[in-house]
Amino acid sequence: MKRGLCLCAAAVLFAAFGAAGCGADEEPEKEKVLRVLEPDFKYETTHYEHTVEYDDNGKDITISGTVYEPDTGGRFPAVILSHGFNGHGADFKKECLRFAERGYVCYAFDFCGAQASSKSKGRTEEEYTPFTMKEDLLHVIEEIGKFSNVDKSQIFLFGGSQGGFVTMLTAADSSVKDKIAGVATYFPALNIPDDWRGKPEEKTPLMGYYIGAEFIRSVQDLDPYEVIGDYKGDVCIVWGTNDALVHRNYIDRAVETYGADRAELTVLEGAGHGFGGTDLAEAIETVLAFLEARTYTYK
């Protein structure tokens, strides 16, 4: 066959079947490049309440939270924020506003049953555990990934204290561990199993709320370090030297578990368990820098 006929035949085949390995309607794969924004660039933002509902073995669960997002069209990376003991999603309002103005869709929510007052419904203080909280977070991840303005390949998890502990456990779950773009935490409470191991399995008052018998029972045999290392992505930990609840050895062991090549530890001198003022501002910018160093766009 002459060369001209070969080219003609190839053109016919290409038109009929598309490029090799691609369907006729598929778009060519785009190049993934690091997203770079000008240091002082800010999106206008908006926010609204959003609920996530799911069935937990016949129990109707309603998760209440707030979405903060850029007030413009397009698809953006997402950050899901998990609060600490007896906390609320609103505890992370400053983080959400800062991240949203830098181009992230944020969802901060109340774990079900895990605080004295909440719009989330379906569990009592005697029913929630780190593992029901993990279920809440898994369903939130699934829901946020369906948002039309979210790039589901770039979902980051963020948590503080007990929420950081649950975030680390959740990121290692087999259903999501290969889908989470990065994990960031403030003073993750990896000490929780040690704190409750061997204690009476009964409802116990604590810091204005309760730890239930089922919570205590659920952590008796849990070694979190045997779990969290299954997440192979990058991790950011921010911790203060005056933290009286989460001691340094728990943080160092987390870094060792993930590996120093994947875990970034920022130590704030003099900061306690709960950041405020300049410590909070530094913590927010530390997490933002971690996110931005791992946020991509396509061309």
Q: 18 lies in a domain?
A: no
Question: What pTM did the predictor assign?
Answer: 0.90
Report the CATH number that the domain containing residue 278 is assigned in CATH: 3.40.50.1820
Query: CB neighbours (10 Å) of residue 223?
Result: 11
Q: 14 lies in a domain?
A: no
Q: 11 lies in a domain?
A: no
Q: How many domains does the chain have?
A: 1
Q: 284 lies in a domain?
A: yes
Q: 5 lies in a domain?
A: no
Rg (Cα) of the chain, in Å, rounded?
A: 22
* Tokens at 297, concatenated: 């766009």
What whole-number distance in Å separates Cα of residue 145 and Cα of residue 136? 14
The confidence score (pLDDT) of residue 5 equals: 33
The confidence score (pLDDT) of residue 140 equals: 98
Q: 4 lies in a domain?
A: no
Q: 184 lies in a domain?
A: yes
Q: 170 lies in a domain?
A: yes
Can you give 203-228 as a three-state secondary structure string?
Answer: CEEECCEEECHHHHHHHCCCCCHHHH
The confidence score (pLDDT) of residue 26 equals: 52
In this predicted model, what pLDDT tens digit does every residue of 28-85 receive, in sequence order? 678 989 999 999 999 999 999 999 999 999 999 999 999 999 999 999 999 999 999 9
Label residue 152 exposed, middle or buried (CB < 10 Å: 0-12, 13-18, 19+).
Answer: middle
Domain ranges, residue 78: 31-298
| 186 has a pLDDT exceeding 90 | yes
Alpha helices in the chain (DSSP H): 3-17, 93-101, 130-144, 162-171, 192-196, 213-219, 225-228, 248-258, 277-292
In this predicted model, what pLDDT tens digit does every residue of 82-119 receive, in sequence order? 999 999 999 999 999 999 999 999 999 999 999 999 99
Average pLDDT, the chain: 92
CA dist list (Å): 273 to 33, 194, 251: 37, 18, 13
Give the 3-state secondary structure of residue 289: helix
* Tokens at 127, concatenated: 């029913």
In this predicted model, what pLDDT tens digit does every residue of 196-238 receive, in sequence order? 999 999 999 999 999 999 999 999 999 999 999 999 999 999 9
State what percent of residues in the chain have pLDDT above 70.
Answer: 91
Give 70's strand partners. 45
State what percent of residues in the chain have pLDDT above 90.
Answer: 88
Q: Are 79 and 99 in contact (CB under 8 A)?
A: yes
The confidence score (pLDDT) of residue 17 equals: 34
- Looking at residue 71, what DSSP letter applies? S
Residue listed under structure tokens 């600490």: 84
Query: CB neighbours (10 Å) of residue 41?
Result: 10
Average pLDDT score over residue span 124-145:
97
